[in-house]
Amino acid sequence: MIVLALRYGGPVDDPKQPSQMKGPVMASVHDVAAYILAKRGEMTAMKLQKLTYYSHAWHLVWDERPLFAEPIEAWANGPVVPALYRQHRGKFSVSTIEGGDSNRLTQAEQGTVDAVVGFYGDMTAHQLSELTHSERPWADARAGMPAGARGSARITDEMMAFYYDSLTAKSTSS
């Protein structure tokens, strides 16, 4: 089991934090994907999906709020954000995301994505897919589905927060 053992040093005074703004602002999955691509360059669509998923999951643990609002589903090859999939459907590799603006991420959100990309970024798309298959959020959402079957079961924020937070508890108690 791989545990993301690093934690970024989040900002103290982030002027873009929602508490300091007139209305709630949340990055979109397209903004997060654009940020990942700006950091790592062109990659496979599958790898981009998995890095986006892990960014969202760890942000739930570290900042106790979602990174983006779009739902995540448990597809046969691992977690997928359908809204992002529609942007890269039919493409093996992706270098840009239409409508994504990496500048919309707050400093704290960038810190989460940087930590995730630093930890998972050298893994292949297949390795990331296999890793997600070994973890409870994807497995629980697909419970009862045959291997390889199409499905659109939702992986909830609660499932992700509970599971990934439990990994930090295990790593700190060792």
Per-residue pLDDT of the chain (174 residues; tens, 9 = 90+): 344 444 443 333 343 444 344 444 789 999 999 999 999 999 999 999 999 999 999 999 999 999 999 999 999 999 999 999 999 999 999 999 999 999 999 999 999 999 999 999 999 999 999 999 999 999 999 999 998 899 999 999 999 999 999 998 776 665
| 141 domain residue, yes or no | yes
Helices (H), the chain: 29-40, 45-63, 82-88, 107-120, 125-133, 136-141, 157-173
Q: Please, which residues bridge with residue 93 across strands?
A: 44
Note the pLDDT of residue 10. Answer: 38
Task: Determine the pLDDT at residue 171.
Answer: 66
Domain of residue 40 covers 25-169
Q: What is the tally of structural domains in the chain?
A: 1
Cβ-contact 73, 137 below 8 angstroms: no
Q: Could you tell me if residue 2 is inside a domain?
A: no
pTM of the model: 0.85
Q: What is the pLDDT of residue 172?
A: 67
pLDDT of residue 169: 77
Question: Is residue 174 in a domain?
Answer: no
Residue 115 has what pLDDT?
98
The reply to whether 13 falls in a domain is: no
Query: Is 9 a member of any domain?
Result: no
Residue 37, domain member (yes or no): yes
